[in-house]
Structure 1
Amino acid sequence: EDTEGKYHGCWPVIEEAHGSDYVIGMSYPHPEEFGSKGFVTADRDGDGWVINGAKSYWTSSAPCANYAFLIVNLPPHRSIADIGGCIVPLTLPGVTQGPPIDKLGLRDDPQGELAFDNVRIPAHYMLLAEPVFGRFATKGVISSTSCGMACMFTGLARAAFEEALKYTRERVQGGRPLIEHDVVKLKLSDMFLKVETARYFTRVVLRHVSERSRALTFDQSTAHALSAQVYATNIAYEVAHQSRQLHGANGLTKDYLIEKLYRDATAGLMEDGANEALSLEAAYSFLEEGRYTTE
């Protein structure tokens, strides 16, 4: 139990040539045939494991974390489907943490590279030592993280809408506040509709994923969780764009919050998997499950 906040973790998945295909591969009908093997490998060595390879600089919290739940490629190293997971203290010899990358959006989230050069861990640190367990657990984690993304970007959409409300009440154009112009009212109404539908859909999916998680039937909620992320991030981008347009030229300056919200919304379309890849994985999931509703 970490009552003092001493443990700061990260979840390194993405590699230089493996991004969204890690996500798709978990729901691909024959994952053992999907793509090349992962570049970060773990091999048994006596009473422990040896890890080699590098995770790309898109690993959130990598520059400042002190522990990682590391996704590795297990023997026989045939494809990315040979997936495992282990705890790695980032203070171990052979671990290198890269500096934070300079990004357009989500700059509050430090992301950087992690490299492993003959890093040795004891056997009990390997929590997912068989690929079948790794694939099962990864689906559960994806469901949870996609729900988190949906919540975060629904909140971003709401913030962008509220910034538009505030600005259009204060900004005078044509002798009266912007909000008194009917064309502005129509734009605000469209933004309100988008925010509320994203909020409702996200809440329904959260309840569904929570029920499936308690029953350990993650595969029955993956498609819904991924779809919630795709929908919420798309809505966040659309609403942030509309809000920035209502701000006029001021929306391009750092004097107004919408400039940051728009950059963050842009990053959301690719964070934790590109939306096109997430949609494809959702299709694989619901076609395999035969479940199309949360009922």
Structure 2
Amino acid sequence: MIKDPARLQALLATIRQFVIETCIPQEALIDRDDCIPEPLVDAMRRLGLFGHSIPEAYGGAGLTSEELTLVNIEVSQAATVFRARFGGNTGIASESLVVDGTAAQKARYLPRLASGEITGCFALTEPEAGSDATSLRTTATRDGDHYVLNGTKCFITNAPLADLFTVFARTEPDTPGAHGISAFLVERGTPGLDTGMAERKMGQHGSPVGDVILKDCRVPASAIVGGEPGRGFTTAMKALNKQRINLAGLCIGPAIRLVDEMVRYAREREQFGHPISEYQLVQQMIADSNTELHAARALVLETARRRDSGEDVTMEASMCKMFASEMAGRVADRAVQVFGGSGYMARTVAERFYRDVRVFRLYEGTTQIHQLNIAKRTMAARAGALEPGRS
């Protein structure tokens, strides 16, 4: 749903200008130095990029799912690390508060997240709890009016620089599975909370990822998201359901950029006396890539509109994330192929995006986990739909 078309078009035009004039020229430098310069982060704050999905009442833009998808497509046509820097605040790190936070929690944190004053992160994954998040081992033991947290989270985006951590822990250690998990808001500086060094990664250099280490970390009971223990897993799934649509949009931007780069390179590069754009097998890779990105964009925008209308799009969100992330990987692979030997060199956009988009098939649920989710929901929906004797 688009609330104000003129306002949205103005926002998209501003973002497009920022991406072209500010972000893209600094891609190679950030990839090399593994750091986004602070003046650039300040520019993101001034543009309001940290608060797109946060309600207007708390200083954000209050974008709908469809509007946010269109913004994500624009933003991600530059290296994906730019969006990762503010993406937690306008996505998964704030969504738990938006959907389930108490009035006091929202008032305390959402305006600061929206302005970019603080950076949030979503600390769910553990060494033994990745795809099976319900097996998490981090504990939260009640001690009077407080809880004491112990455990380790891993692969947490922005953990090395985050100011606010949404930490998922088991408040009922004897209760297996999703029950008995609670979400806690923990501020940096809380005794017992530490973050390790940023991990070295295949791609997305400039987007720090690391551990969140909790050792006798004492927080008040009021730090539980929503104020009630045992609702953490439900909160996480609400946040992830929206984030999977967001991430699918973030897979489309790189595909658009790479198709543009393939076309440009194919027209300039000559072999056997002709631009390689004249050869049909090169054209096939460009055609397949452009077709797939259009299919992904149509699927994601339709799902976003349905979410805005209040429909349950849990299965469709999985479809979006699975299809768009796999699509981005195929397009990046074809881009390297079109670029040939140059595509394997670190100086090219094809090589950089090939590394950057690979993680899309891993986080927010691996492709295989989404395939299982889609299959289960498809079979459940079809159960009993066919009468005996009908084909």
Q: What's the TM-score once normalised by structure 1's chain length?
A: 0.86
Supply the distance in 2 between the matched residues of 1:95 and 1:290 (Cα, whole angstroms): 47
Supply the distance in 2 between the matched residues of 1:182 and 1:123 (Cα, whole angstroms): 64
Which one has more relative contact order, counting CA pairs under 8 Å at least 6 apart? 1
Supply the distance in 2 between the matched residues of 1:289 and 1:127 (Cα, whole angstroms): 32
2:233 maps to which of 120, 131, 135? 135
Output aligned runs, 1:1-295, within 5 Å: 1-2=111-112, 4-22=115-133, 37-56=135-154, 58-81=155-178, 82-128=180-226, 129-131=228-230, 133-212=231-310, 220-287=312-379
Superposed CA offset, 1:118-140 (max 9, x none): 11111111115333x33332221
Structure (1/2) with the larger strand percentage: 1
Structure (1/2) with the larger helix percentage: 2
Superposed CA offset, 1:231-269 (max 9, x none): 000000011101110100000011210101111122221
Moved more, 200-209 or 58-67: 200-209
Q: Which residue of 1 aligns with 2:99?
A: none
Structure 2 unaligned spans of 5+: 1-110, 384-391
Supply the distance in 2 between the matched residues of 1:123 and 1:289 (Cα, whole angstroms): 40
Give the letter aligned to residue 159 of structure 2: A
Supply the distance in 1 between the matched residues of 2:285 and 2:302 (Cα, whole angstroms): 26
Supply the distance in 2 between the matched residues of 1:130 and 1:285 (Cα, whole angstroms): 28
Supply the distance in 2 between the matched residues of 1:135 and 1:271 (Cα, whole angstroms): 17
Q: Which residue of 2 aligns with 1:32?
A: none
C-alpha contact (below 8 Å) 1:169/1:178 kept by paired residues: yes
State, as a whole percentage, how many aligned pairs show the same letter.
25
C-alpha contact (below 8 Å) 1:59/1:111 kept by paired residues: yes
Q: 1:188 to 1:110 in 2, by over 3 A?
A: same
Aligned-pair distance for 1:287?
A: 4.8
C-alpha contact (below 8 Å) 1:222/1:282 kept by paired residues: no
Aligned-pair distance for 1:271?
A: 2.0
Give the letter aligned to residue 361 of structure 2: L
C-alpha contact (below 8 Å) 1:222/1:285 kept by paired residues: no
Supply the distance in 1 between the matched residues of 2:305 and 2:157 (Cα, whole angstroms): 26
Q: What's the TM-score once normalised by structure 2's chain length?
A: 0.66
Give the letter aligned to residue 358 of structure 2: T
C-alpha contact (below 8 Å) 1:52/1:119 kept by paired residues: yes
C-alpha contact (below 8 Å) 2:139/2:173 kept by paired residues: no
C-alpha contact (below 8 Å) 1:140/1:222 kept by paired residues: no
Report the 3-state secondary structure (helix = DSSP H, G, I; strand = E; otherwise coil) of the residue aligned with 1:105.
coil
Give the letter aligned to residue 249 of structure 2: C
Give the letter aligned to residue 64 of structure 1: L
Aligned-pair distance for 1:163?
A: 1.2
Q: 1:288 to 1:72 in 2, by over 3 A?
A: farther
C-alpha contact (below 8 Å) 2:152/2:214 kept by paired residues: yes
Supply the distance in 2 between the matched residues of 1:61 and 1:188 (Cα, whole angstroms): 34
Aligned-pair distance for 1:78?
A: 2.8
Give the letter aligned to residue 65 of structure 1: A
C-alpha contact (below 8 Å) 1:73/1:80 kept by paired residues: no
C-alpha contact (below 8 Å) 1:156/1:261 kept by paired residues: yes
Report the 3-state secondary structure (helix = DSSP H, G, I; strand = E; otherwise coil) of the residue aligned with 2:238.
helix
Give the letter aligned to residue 331 of structure 2: V
Structure 1 unaligned spans of 5+: 26-36
Q: Which residue of 2 aligns with 1:28?
A: none
Give the letter aligned to residue 321 of structure 2: Q
Supply the distance in 2 between the matched residues of 1:59 and 1:276 (Cα, whole angstroms): 21
Aligned-pair distance for 1:285?
A: 4.2
**CA RMSD, 1 decimal:** 1.9
Aligned-pair distance for 1:79?
A: 2.3
C-alpha contact (below 8 Å) 1:69/1:88 kept by paired residues: yes
C-alpha contact (below 8 Å) 1:223/1:283 kept by paired residues: no
Give the letter aligned to residue 232 of structure 1: A
Supply the distance in 1 between the matched residues of 2:287 and 2:243 (Cα, whole angstroms): 30
Aligned-pair distance for 1:290?
A: 6.8
